[in-house]
């Protein structure tokens, strides 16, 4: 039997609470091929915001570092955990840069066969914003998103009861994650995904020279990123909204 493979992308600048929880998950599921990738330990530079990856293609990114390794690890996995501490009501700078570097995937998503879970640690404030952001980015990248894990870990020494409670929450959340992967059921595309599809497709058709990479990606796609049943009415509304958004 082939082991299920999970990769955890950790945006913590140190091996603190977020990393330790990921370690706990790894220790409690020895039959899972579980890999933790610490962004601060990789050769992973700050996004320059040049837009080359979007307009010309991801291979045109001027930064030659571990980006492609990260893509390969996510591609080989059955599921991805996006893990970040909560800083100032948002994900860490490392995690934000991760999503910036893969911004082209919002235009040309590719992880439709993969599942993702957002995981945050914090002192009780702002986690909802960080989770909402990571969930949204995972969805536009193509992932099927499962319920998140949010752990309240206050600064200072934690009581044994609090430690065990968080450990139990993490294990249960991971079990749900694995169950969803095993079932392999995808939710139907929502209007929040249908409309962007038609927006990006239309823009690439209107300006195929500037958005060459998008044009090549969308030119053979009709109603959605992959073959799925979409009602004529929903398709009509999504196209109309997209045209109004772009053409006015």
Mean pLDDT of the 227-248 span: 94
Contact 187, 201 (CB under 8 A): no
pLDDT bracket for residue 159 (50, 70, 90)? confident
> How many helices, marked H, and strands, marked E, lie in the chain?
10, 6
Q: How far apart are CA 190 and CA 30, in angstroms?
A: 36
Contact 200, 242 (CB under 8 A): no
pLDDT, position 248: 83
Q: Compute φ and ψ for 118, nearest 5 degrees.
A: -90, 140
184-237 pLDDT tens trace:
999 999 999 999 999 999 999 999 999 999 999 999 999 999 999 999 999 999
Q: How far apart are CA 21 and CA 82, in angstroms?
A: 13
User: Which of 43, 98, 93, 87 shows the shortest CA–CA distance to 65?
Assistant: 43
User: Which of 106, 101, 102 shows the shortest CA–CA distance to 193?
Assistant: 106
Q: Is 113's pLDDT higher than 70?
A: yes
Contacts of 62 (CB under 8 A, 6+ apart): 48, 50, 52
**Tokens 């986690």 -> residue:** 127
Which residues are bridge partners to 116 per DSSP? Answer: 80, 145
Tokens of 73: 């690890």
pLDDT bracket for residue 1 (50, 70, 90)? low
Q: How far apart are CA 237 and CA 230, in angstroms?
A: 11
């Amino acid at each position: 039997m082939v082991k299920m493979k999970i990769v955890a992308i950790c945006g913590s600048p140190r091996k603190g609470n977020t990393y330790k929880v990921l370690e706990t998950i790894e220790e409690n599921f020895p039959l899972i091929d579980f890999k933790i990738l610490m962004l601060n330990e990789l050769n992973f530079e700050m996004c320059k915001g040049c837009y080359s990856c979007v307009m010309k293609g991801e291979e045109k990114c001027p930064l030659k570092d571990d980006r492609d390794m990260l893509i390969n690890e996510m591609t080989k996995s059955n599921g991805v955990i996006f893990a970040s501490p909560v800083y100032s009501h948002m994900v860490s700078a490392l995690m934000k840069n991760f999503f910036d570097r893969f911004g082209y995937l919002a235009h040309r998503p590719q992880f439709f066969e993969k599942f993702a879970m957002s995981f945050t640690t914090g002192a009780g404030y702002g986690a909802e914003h960080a989770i909402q952001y990571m969930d949204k980015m995972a969805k536009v990248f193509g992932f099927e998103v499962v319920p998140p894990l949010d752990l309240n870990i206050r600064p200072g020494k934690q009581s044994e009861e609090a430690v065990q409670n968080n450990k139990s929450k993490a294990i249960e959340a991971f079990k749900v994650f694995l169950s969803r992967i095993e079932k392999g059921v995808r939710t139907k595309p929502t209007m929040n995904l249908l409309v962007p599809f038609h927006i990006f497709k239309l823009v690439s058709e209107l300006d195929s020279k500037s958005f060459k990479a998008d044009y090549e990606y969308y030119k053979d796609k009709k109603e959605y990123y992959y073959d799925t049943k979409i009602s004529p009415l929903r398709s009509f509304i999504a196209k109309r909204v997209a045209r109004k958004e772009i053409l006015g």
